[in-house]
Each structure stands twice: as structure tokens, then as C-alpha cells.
Amino acid sequence: MVIKMRLDKYLSECTGKTRSQVKALVKKGLVTVDGVPAKSPDMKIDETSSAVTMDGKTLSYEKYVYYMLNKPEGYVSATNDNLHKTVIDLLSGENTRDLFPVGRLDIDTVGLLLITNDGALSHDLLSPAKHVAKTYEAILDGIVTDEDITMFKTGVDIGEEKLCKPATLKVVDIDENKGHSRVYITITEGKFHQIKRMANAIGMDVLFLKRLSMGSLVLDPALSPGEYRRLTEDELNSLRSK
């Protein structure tokens, strides 16, 4: 069955323009469907096969879009906020309607954030039942011991009804002078401020926190803070097959 879509909805979703803006363009005869100027903004088109142009440019419809963002500090993981800039603001120039971040990173956390309009994929990645692994690089203000590593493996008590699920704490390097440890932490849950609370449970504060991966998706080292790119087909297929 071919699902038909209203032309003005299609135009607005492809371009990010409002319905009234695209309606005006249709009225001016600047939109064609299969080579013929569109007569009315409410005509139905097949979004998968109709050839649509607007202002001479060929449009293509993508139902879902997927961006990998290297989140910088100072941005909130939300779609809008009265006080702070949001991660969606970083995708300026894109059609950001319906986009949202998959999960949250704190305002001072940096690194991998997936941004999409695909609610089903987001739900799958965030579902506690799926145990999607997330790896973070962190600098902790203390020297990590073997007991700390064992505690992470067993399940840290962060004051909730249940212990955290087993997590890995791997020391990357120790700065004896400063008394800091650089570590990789992998968790399979997404509790509020989980990494910071796990660090607090071993008597340390997190000085720096960066997400490196989520499931099979790994932060592209070519992305500087604030930069983003589309996911590749391979990245998307691997994420979906989790």
C-alpha cells in the first residue's frame, strides 16, 4: 500500500520551512510534482517516489535522520530550555524539527550524543532491558585502587533500592603528583548522574567526563567539540542490530 502525504507537510518536513511559507511557494507556482507545477498545497503525493522540486531544487524525503554530535560543555541535552543553549541549537542549518537527543549528558559532560527523530530506535537504545553499554572516559580526583575496581564489578551502591549493575572501571593512567586517575568506565544502565554518583561512592569526584561510545556507536575522533555528522549506513545498521 502506498501511503500518501500532503504536499505542504512533505515540503515543510524536507526543508524545515513552516506550512504557511511552503503554501506561499506553491501558490507562486514554485513547486513542481513529477514535472508539473503543483496546483494546491493539500494535494497528496507519494513521498517515496514523487519527484518534487521547490524553487528549482530537487527535494528528497527522509523520514528519519541520525546525527552523531561531539557535545561540548555548556549545552543541555534537551530540545528547548529557558536558560541554556541546547544540543539541538548546535545543528544550525539542519531541519531540526522533531529532533531530540537519545538520552542525556549533563551540561558539563562532553562527547558522544546521538540525535535523531527515530523514537523507536531511541527507545531501544535507552530501554533498561537492552543493557546497551556506554563507555566514558573520566578523570577522578583520587587514586583508584583494586578494591574500587572490584566494587564496580560487583555493583556500586549509589543510594538506590538496588545496587548498580556490574560495571567496569579500567585505569588508563595515574597522576601521582595531582592524585588523579584517568579511567574508562563502562555501564549498562542510565541512572541520573550515574557516573558521578558511582565515583562519589568510592570517595571521588569526577573532574572531567566524556562519553566515548554507546552500544556499537563510537565517537568519531575527527569531530571537534560542537561538530556533528550524519551516521553512516554501517553505523546505523550495527546500532539497529543490537
Interface contacts to ligand URA, rule CB under 6 A: 105-106, 109, 193-196, 209
Cα–Cα nearest to 225, from 65, 90, 85: 90
d(Cα 144, Cα 129) in Å, to the nearest integer? 30
| Contact criterion met (CB below 8 Å) for 215 and 130 | no
What minimum distance in Å lies between the beta carbon of 120 and ligand URA? 23
SS3 state at 134: strand
φ, ψ at 14 (rounded to 5°): -70, -35
What minimum distance in Å lies between the beta carbon of 133 and ligand URA? 13
SS3 state at 143: coil
User: Of residues 81, 89, 106, 141, which has the active-site annotation?
Assistant: 106
What minimum distance in Å lies between the beta carbon of 196 and ligand URA? 4
Angle at 159 between CA 196 and CA 152, to 5 degrees: 55
Q: Is the dihedral of CA 68, 102, 135, 76 positive or negative?
A: positive
What minimum distance in Å lies between the beta carbon of 151 and ligand URA? 17
Q: Considering beta carbons, is residue 44 or 193 the nearer one to ligand URA? A: 193
Q: Considering beta carbons, is residue 15 or 168 the nearer one to ligand URA? A: 168
d(Cα 51, Cα 61) in Å, to the nearest integer? 10
Q: Considering beta carbons, is residue 23 or 210 the nearer one to ligand URA? A: 210
Q: Which residues of 90-118 are buried (b: 16+ CB within 10 A; e: fewer)?
A: bbeeebbeebbbbbbbbbebbbbbbbbbb
φ, ψ at 112 (rounded to 5°): -65, 125
Q: Considering beta carbons, is residue 81 or 106 the nearer one to ligand URA? A: 106
What minimum distance in Å lies between the beta carbon of 195 and ligand URA? 3
What minimum distance in Å lies between the beta carbon of 217 and ligand URA? 15
Mark whether 98 is an active-site residue.
Answer: no
Q: Considering beta carbons, is residue 10 or 100 the nearer one to ligand URA? A: 100
Estimate the share of the chain in helix, then strand, then coil, as percent rounded to the nearest 5: 25, 30, 45
| Contact criterion met (CB below 8 Å) for 69 and 110 | no
Q: Considering beta carbons, is residue 14 or 167 the nearer one to ligand URA? A: 167
Q: Which residues belong to the active site?
A: 106
